[in-house]
Each structure stands twice: as structure tokens, then as C-alpha cells.
Amino acid sequence: MLFFALHLDSLPQLVLCWFIFALPLVFFVRAMGDFCLVGFFKKVTGTRFVRRDSTVFSTLCLAMAIGILSLDAPIE
């Protein structure tokens, strides 16, 4: 992990900008789900996994997507 942190400055600016927008997109898509088994719009209901996915993991993915996007927002 320290190796990655030390070489983060050597990445081109375009790669970092792309990463800042791609990572929240991945979390947002996971929060929305596949419309079948995971995410907020799933069809399967009633199991312990589905309840925990809705209350914990999908909510966490949505919060992480919003949080990462807010890090990129300009501060006035």
C-alpha cells in the first residue's frame, strides 16, 4: 500500500481524472444492481442476504459513490 501511495504522484493527470469518475460509477452501478439479485431494484425478496444487501451493502456503495464524487467537487 505504501508503494502505491509513493507512486501516485507519478501517474498522469488524465489517468487520475478518469479514475476519480470511474470509481464512483462502479459503486453507483453496484448500488443500483442487476435488477435480479443485488442492488436497490432487485426482484428476489425475503431472504436474509437480500435484506442485508438493501440495508448495508447497497447503501454503503451509494454513500461511497457520493463521497468520492464530493471529493472532486470544487471548494469555494
Q: What is the pLDDT of residues 23-56, one digit of tens each?
A: 999 999 999 999 898 999 999 989 999 999 999 9
Question: Position of cell 436474509?
Answer: 48
| 17 — pLDDT class (breaks 50, 70, 90) | confident
- Residues 6 or more apart in contact with residue 34 via CB below 8 angstroms: 42
0.85 exceeded by pTM: no
